[in-house]
């Protein structure tokens, strides 16, 4: 049964609560709704109280303009308060970027899991490319060209053209496409926010897939070096879309 909590700006945030035990909140990435992380929630619910939610603007959650990353941090704060005042947080992809920002902002997070946050290098050409892509997606979304926004992102991510054509028409992706600029706002210019990473004092697990593009592992290594209490887990043979059966054991072992 769907439950709701109100964020600081009055936005209703929808969530499912599963299991019993220490609280952990799951934060999805671009295109994710709580159904995307439902399998992971179910796997973790044997040991934990899992809060699986729709980020603002997605699924059953509301939205309030104008967007700001601080408002998504407020959403997490409201969920943590509802869960008892402190919770572990797991984030995947740009959701890991949001979880990182929330931890750096000082939310009462007990443990943090960052699963392949898509930060790139500090190279200026890479950062300019990230800014151009973000602007292209923002403009396409503003013009109502949802499919084109998805195509721009997937093409830049290296997906083959024939796959892009098929995937970009997915109704679920089209439904949440207006929130794509939110994820670009979270990730900034794509570089690791080193100063904020150094502020995160809670134990943090960084997960990378052994079969993922190399930059994910490079990013994971750098994050672990910057974190005051960071450790790395590599899921051998897994890519960015690793299934719950591969992810849950590593997350559960760390949260214990």
In order, the DSSP letters of 80-145 are HHHTTS-EEEEEETHHHHHHHHHHHTT--EEEEEEE----B-S-HHHHHHHHHHHHHHHHHHHTT-
List, in order, residues 6 or more apart from 97 with CB less than 8 Å away.
91, 117, 118, 119, 183, 186, 187
**Predicted pLDDT of residue 122:** 86
pTM over 0.85: yes
**pLDDT tens-digit series, residues 150-207:** 999 999 998 999 899 989 999 999 999 999 999 999 999 999 999 999 999 999 999 9
**Predicted pLDDT of residue 72:** 98
CA 10 from chain centre, in angstroms, equals 22
CA 244 from chain centre, in angstroms, equals 15
Residues of the chain with pLDDT below 50 are none
Q: How far apart are the first and last CA of the chain?
A: 27
| CA distance linking residue 177 with residue 35, whole number of Å | 16
Q: Domain 3-119+192-255: what homologous superfamily?
A: Alpha/Beta hydrolase fold, catalytic domain (3.40.50.1820)
Domain positions in the chain are 3-119+192-255, 124-185
Beta-carbon count within 10 A of 133 CB: 17
The two three-digit tokens of residue 237, written as one number: 């043979």
Peptide bond before residue 195 is cis, with ω within 30 degrees of 0: no
């Amino acid at each position: 049964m769907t439950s709701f909590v109100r964020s600081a700006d009055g936005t209703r945030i929808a969530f499912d609560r599963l299991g019993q035990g220490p609280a952990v909140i799951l934060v999805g990435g671009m295109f994710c709704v709580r159904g995307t992380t439902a399998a992971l929630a179910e796997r973790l619910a044997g040991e934990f109280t899992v809060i699986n939610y729709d980020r603002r603007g997605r699924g059953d959650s509301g939205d309030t303009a104008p967007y700001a990353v601080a408002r998504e941090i407020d959403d997490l704060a409201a969920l943590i308060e509802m869960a008892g005042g402190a919770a572990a947080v797991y984030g995947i992809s740009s959701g890991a970027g949001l979880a990182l920002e929330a931890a750096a902002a000082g939310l009462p997070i007990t443990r943090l899991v960052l699963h392949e946050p898509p930060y790139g290098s500090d190279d200026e050409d890479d950062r300019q490319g990230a800014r151009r892509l973000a602007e292209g997606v923002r403009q396409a979304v503003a013009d109502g060209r949802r499919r084109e926004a998805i195509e721009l992102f997937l093409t830049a991510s290296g997906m083959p053209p024939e796959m892009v054509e098929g995937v970009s028409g997915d109704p679920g992706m089209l439904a949440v496409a207006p929130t794509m600029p939110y994820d670009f706002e979270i990730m900034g210019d794509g570089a690791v926010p080193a100063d904020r990473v150094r502020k995160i004092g809670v134990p943090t697990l960084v997960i990378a897939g052994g079969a993922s593009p190399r930059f994910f592992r490079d990013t994971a290594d750098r994050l672990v070096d910057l974190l005051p209490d960071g450790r790395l887990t590599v899921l051998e043979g897994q890519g960015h879309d690793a299934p719950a059966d591969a992810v849950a054991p590593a997350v559960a072992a760390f949260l214990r």
